[in-house]
Amino acid sequence: MAKLVGPQAIKQHRFTVEQYHKMGEAGIFSEDDRVELIDGEVVEMTPIGWRHMWCVRRLIRLLAGFAETSSGVRYEVDAQNPIALGEHGEPQPDLVLLLDPPVGRLPGPGDVALVVEVADASLAFDRNVKLTRYSEAGIPEAWLIDLNADRFEVHSEPASDGYRRTARYGRGERVESATLPNLALDVDEALPPKEPEA
């Protein structure tokens, strides 16, 4: 891949998932490095603040409750672990609802029923880059929780250039999954308070 900068082209290298793993094994990234592979580029993830952490913890509990009560389908909630999206992508969503988690490999798009990104400072990147990659991969539903606006976005109907359908829910409303029957929750249950509780 080459990019034209000024009068000359600068060559860029896209890392594969295999190369990315080898860099980790070689110690290029430490345990404390928060990075993910997006379109062959190693991207530093934004720091997690208390509201983000609070929301993820609450969603783990709410989604786990759904997984336990869903009859006939085995779901598992996974938090902040990678999923395999082709040769050049291994993002780490905040939450994933997996269908019968695989053994011996990372989950891929066919293993994912729902992906969730909780965003404050990372909102533009999550919406414009990560959600598009999830849609391109065919993940049926993605939730984007916008902590700045106190809003849930439920994206469904994946296509090659993004999700075709979006529903938005604010405080006082009930979020309903577009693809998973009986998955619904109150927005207020999942969103953190504006200020820390005393």
Q: Kindly tell me if the per-residue pLDDT of 4 is higher than 60.
A: no
Percent of the chain scored above 70 by pLDDT? 79
d(CA 22, CA 43): 16
Which residues are 166's β-sheet partners? 155
Q: What is the pLDDT of residues 55-86, one digit of tens each?
A: 999 999 999 999 888 777 889 999 999 999 98
**φ/ψ bin of 128: left (φ > 0), alpha (ψ from -120 to 50), beta (otherwise):** alpha
pTM: 0.80
At 164, is the pLDDT very low, low, confident or very high (cuts 50, 70, 90)? very high
Domains in the chain (CATH in brackets) are 2-41 (no CATH), 46-190 (3.90.1570.10)
